[in-house]
């Protein structure tokens, strides 16, 4: 199963570009988690829910790598956690 995550940092930004890319990539609407919250925020409830929803063999799909976090360390920790759980990861624009 593919699980998508889309995020903007501010409420005046639009999620449409990310959502359309996730849909085009084959992520079903009911498996797309979206929110408008800064990556620096301590709580990203939809991101946490997307991670919890991922099971071994699933793929977490994002539009860009920076949707996962702002620091390289945070990105590495998230991707390593997914790998340890047997969850694949794909960034649409970077081709991961």
Q: Is 38 a catalytic residue?
A: no
Contact in structure between 35 and 68 (CB atoms under 8 Å): no
Q: Which of 9, 38, 71, 91 is an active site residue?
A: 9
Phi-psi region of 25 (alpha: psi -120 to 50; beta: other; left: phi over 0): alpha
* DSSP for residue 38: -
- Please list the active-site residues: 9
């Amino acid at each position: 199963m593919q699980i998508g995550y889309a995020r903007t940092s501010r409420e005046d930004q639009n999620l449409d570009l990310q959502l359309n890319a996730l849909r085009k990539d084959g992520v079903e609407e009911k498996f797309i988690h979206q929110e408008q919250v800064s990556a620096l925020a301590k709580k990203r409830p939809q991101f946490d829910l997307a991670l919890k929803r991922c099971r071994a063999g699933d793929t977490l799909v994002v539009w860009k790598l920076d949707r996962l976090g702002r620091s390289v360390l945070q990105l590495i920790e998230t991707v390593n956690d997914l790998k340890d759980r047997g969850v694949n990861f794909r960034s649409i624009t970077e081709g991961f």
